[in-house]
């Protein structure tokens, strides 16, 4: 049995649904409910449905999602938002990941003359260095995968394994959305994965140098503000994008 036949057989056995209208349009397709389905099977479905037109986002905190996807499709394209403000450890992690997996790693750079957090504020800085470059990159894709998990924050608590990214007209796949912190740590240990060294220094969530401090969950992000997300993920309307005070150092 070929790898493709094995995937199809597994889908038949688990009765995993097929999207009934194509991604990339303005009308949301009928999406499958993958609640309780193992991450590996969700990723298999994604590659069977979209081929290499599904790409994987990584913040280089760890290589869990990359490892899971690479074992199923070694040619997966991984993209990383190189904001210009990353920690040295994060850039070193990206190099280590590329070397270990020989993965097709796309480094997305900020827009020309991007906003700076200390002048225009965090929201404008994130938009110029993350949101707009990512939107431009995803224009010709059909779907994207992220390592978003529900336990990370209130803004992510309602996320599903497969969602419609209405702002981009794409299918968004969160294969490990149900995983606990303990499951992540166990997978890292069992597979001897690359992890950003800052995780060992108390940084649960790692962003840019000016706006990241050690903290549990995402509490160390955008220090001194009420901001919880950079804007690349859909968030629940009740907690999305709170009023932003003036930028503060640190």
Give catalytic residues, as residue numbers.
230
Please give the full DSSP string across 151-187, using - where no structure is assigned.
GG-GGGTT--SEEEETTTTEEEE-TTTT--HHHHHHH
Q: Which residue has the tokens 């939107």?
A: 135
Alpha carbons 105 and 119: distance in angstroms, whole number: 31
> In the Cβ-directed half-sphere of 240, how many Cα atoms lie within 13 Å?
9
Q: ∠ at Cα 200 (199, 205), nearest 5°? A: 20
In 3D space, the residue among 182, 172, 184 whose CA is nearest the CA of residue 145 turns out to be: 172
Alpha carbons 139 and 130: distance in angstroms, whole number: 15
Give the phi and the psi of residue 86 in degrees, each rounded to 5.
Answer: -75, 155
In 3D space, the residue among 101, 103, 80, 99 whose CA is nearest the CA of residue 206 turns out to be: 80
Residue 62's beta-bridge partner residues? Answer: 195
Alpha carbons 125 and 96: distance in angstroms, whole number: 27
């Amino acid at each position: 049995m070929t790898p493709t036949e094995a995937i199809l057989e597994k889908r038949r056995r688990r009765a995993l649904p097929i999207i009934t209208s194509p991604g990339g349009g303005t009308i949301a397709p009928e999406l499958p409910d993958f609640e309780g389905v193992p991450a590996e099977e969700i990723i298999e479905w994604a590659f069977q449905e979209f081929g290499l037109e599904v790409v994987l986002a990584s913040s280089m905190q760890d290589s869990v999602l990359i490892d899971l996807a690479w074992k199923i499709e070694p040619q997966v394209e991984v993209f990383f938002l190189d904001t210009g403000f990353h920690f040295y450890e994060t850039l070193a992690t990206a190099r280590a990941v590329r070397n270990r997996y020989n993965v097709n790693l796309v480094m997305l750079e900020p827009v020309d003359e991007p906003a700076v957090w200390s002048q225009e504020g965090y929201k404008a800085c994130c938009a110029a260095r993350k949101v707009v470059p990512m939107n431009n990159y995803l224009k010709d894709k059909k779907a994207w995968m992220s390592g978003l998990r529900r336990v990370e924050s209130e803004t992510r608590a309602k996320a599903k394994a497969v969602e419609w990214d209405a702002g981009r007209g794409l299918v968004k796949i969160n294969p490990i959305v149900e995983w606990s912190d303990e499951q992540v740590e166990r997978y890292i240990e069992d597979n001897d994965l690359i992890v950003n060294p800052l995780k060992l220094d108390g940084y649960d969530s790692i962003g840019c140098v000016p706006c990241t401090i050690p903290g549990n969950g995402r509490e160390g992000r955008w220090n001194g503000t009420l901001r919880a997300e950079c804007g690349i993920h859909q968030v629940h309307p009740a907690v999305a994008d709170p009023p932003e005070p003036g930028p503060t150092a640190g």
